[in-house]
Structure 1
Amino acid sequence: MFCTVCMFILYLTFHIQFVRSVRDDKLGLNDKDLKRKRDPIRYALSYSIAVFVIGFLLHLIIATTVDVLLLPENYRDNMNQAAALKIKQLNGKCPMITAHRGLASQYPENTLISFKAAIEHQPDYVELDFRSTVDGHLVCIHDANLNRYLGKQRPGWRDKPTESFTLQELQTLDFGSWKSSEYSNTPVATLKQVIAMFHQLDANSRRPTLMLEHKTGTVEQLLEELDAFTDTKQFIVQSFNWPFLQQLKSKRPDIRIAAIGGGDMSESMMSHILKMDCHAVHWNDQITPQIIDQFHQHGIAVWMYTLNHARQWAYANQIGIDAITTDHCDQLRALQDH
């Protein structure tokens, strides 16, 4: 903002001087025959400076507007505080990458083709959401109803709870056309299918960790699916439902959990999270450097969702975020590898 004000004052000073020169005919602009003969260098230089200053001002205004739209209100203070606290990522490197619902920017979210596309870009985590069907299967669906996915399919089913359908009913639906006709007839993915797909990946390659976000379903249902893993480091369970995580942790202390939340974090919330023995906290961009630093002191990673712009990625990196959740894992990976 300071640079913008300075450049604006500079432009006003130049503009006033330029207008006076034109008015007094010091540049020879009032005489058409002499327009290109009298002091053409001064005219060209003055015009070029004017264009540069206006362009620079527009750039600053656009950049400031983008920052206001994409970043939290106090982002500059946060960056200064993070620098003062010397916050660094727990892994000592740049933030890890979480593929949000797969490569959701290009493919239908939470589907096998979306997960497979994301894996090609070697994210550190692949995140998915799971819900329970009425007959006890865990399926990869984010929304509480099917309205966003169905389009013109089954109008009577759109507003019904996802949990009210059987797996067989969901398997009759197209979960790809809402994204693009290119993905028509994409089936619903079950958690069992996704885990099986991950087991088929080469263990010697850079296999991502599965980030399983609980929406609905019981601890017992989830534990039955998790038995397919040979190592608890292959996955992590996260949820907005903290009591669910505590129940899971009480039955399987070896399972890593992450508490999801958003907004301002109170001292009581932080205290609660610390008592839960979380591996990580998954928060939105309202988390502050002081909170990040406190979690780091307890060895707890801090992840941020859902960031889809390079400015947001840079901000998260500067304030010490350990993992960035994004719909564009391909772009973020390319940026980090560049």
Structure 2
Amino acid sequence: MTMIFGHRGAAGTSPENTMISFKEAIHAGADGIELDVHLSKDQIPVVIHDETVNRTTNGTGYVKDHLAEELIRLNAGRLFNEEAPIPLLKDVLKWACESEKPFIINIELKNNMIEYSNIEEIVIQLVKEHKLSERIILSSFNHSSMVQALKTDPVIETALLYSDGIYKPYDYARRAGARAIHPLMRTVKNELINQARENSVAVRPFTVNDEEEMRTLFEWGASAFFTDYPEKAVRIRESIT
């Protein structure tokens, strides 16, 4: 079965990367959520997509220049006229532990533009503290970071994000020790999914919001996909299974 991941939660209908958004995605029936992690000035993993807080919050400046206690006081629900703080990763993991429904969390390390020292070790330590290793996927556009993650924890699942076509990306992923590729949807073909499956590499395209593209991925048997509209994706999956 093709799994559905809520991209930044249910980012199409609620404030992205907030607890409101994550809870909405799981309530809609998503199999997992995707979130983005940066490090604060005091080296604490915080959940936000951009390198700065400018777009999604009522604050300004780089995430890395703010203390965690300053970041969680900002309103990340501004674009939806809601009140929603920036979550700390540890709070999302705590919620996942307490949830009645087990689900997968894809943690994207946002270290492709800013090099966060030891972000892999810091995040993996938090995951282990919450005993969630088997429900976590680490991903990044920084493929060297994913190799480093596996050096820290050879068991944790890693996935390589990419936006441009890669020749035999399943071979490339296996050389990097990754169990999955997360390609931009426009680079995905049925042949790629079949070849990756033959090489035991999962294919999870992003960000799939078009209904026809969703139907196509269900038909092709993609491992999963990321969408801003998990409720819509769940409805379509239920209609064809």
TM-score (norm. length: structure 2): 0.90
Question: Is the Cα contact below 8 Å between 1:257 and 1:278 reproduced in 2?
Answer: yes
Mapped partners of 2:193, 2:208: distance in 1:
17
Question: Which residue in 2 is equivalent to 1:176?
Answer: 77
Mapped partners of 1:305, 1:261: distance in 2:
10
How many residues matched?
A: 232
Mapped partners of 1:331, 1:270: distance in 2:
29
Secondary structure of 2:56's aligned partner: helix
What is the correspondence of 1:100-179 to structure 2 with a 5 Å cutoff? 100-150=7-57, 153-154=58-59, 157=60, 160-178=61-79
Question: Which residue in 2 is equivalent to 1:279?
Answer: 179
Question: Which residue in 2 is equivalent to 1:258?
Answer: 159
- Structure 1 position 231, deviation (Å): 4.6
- Give structure 2 stretches of 5+ with no counterpart: none
Question: Is the Cα contact below 8 Å between 1:101 and 1:115 reproduced in 2?
Answer: yes
Deviations 1:242-268 (A, max 9, x none): 11110110221110111111221124x
- Structure 1 position 99, deviation (Å): 0.6
Identity %: 25
Mapped partners of 2:98, 2:108: distance in 1:
21
Q: Which moved more, 1:114-123 or 1:214-223?
A: 214-223
Question: Is the Cα contact below 8 Å between 1:100 and 1:326 reproduced in 2?
Answer: yes
Mapped partners of 2:34, 2:155: distance in 1:
20
User: Does structure 1 residue 246 correspond to structure 2 residue 141?
Assistant: no
User: Does structure 1 residue 201 correspond to structure 2 residue 99?
Assistant: yes
Mapped partners of 2:97, 2:131: distance in 1:
9
- Structure 1 position 308, deviation (Å): 0.7
- Give structure 1 stretches of 5+ with no counterpart: 1-92
TM-score (norm. length: structure 1): 0.65
Question: Which residue in 1 is equivalent to 2:89?
Answer: 191
Question: Is the Cα contact below 8 Å between 2:170 and 2:201 reproduced in 1?
Answer: no
Task: Give RMSD over aligned pairs.
Answer: 1.6
- Structure 1 position 270, deviation (Å): 4.4
| Equivalent in 190, 197, 205 of residue 304 of structure 1 | 205
Decide which structure has the larger Cα Rg and report it.
Answer: 1
Question: Which residue in 1 is equivalent to 2:122?
Answer: 221
| Structure with greater strand share of residues | 2
| Structure with greater helix share of residues | 1
- Structure 1 position 177, deviation (Å): 1.7
Question: Which residue in 1 is equivalent to 2:106?
Answer: 211
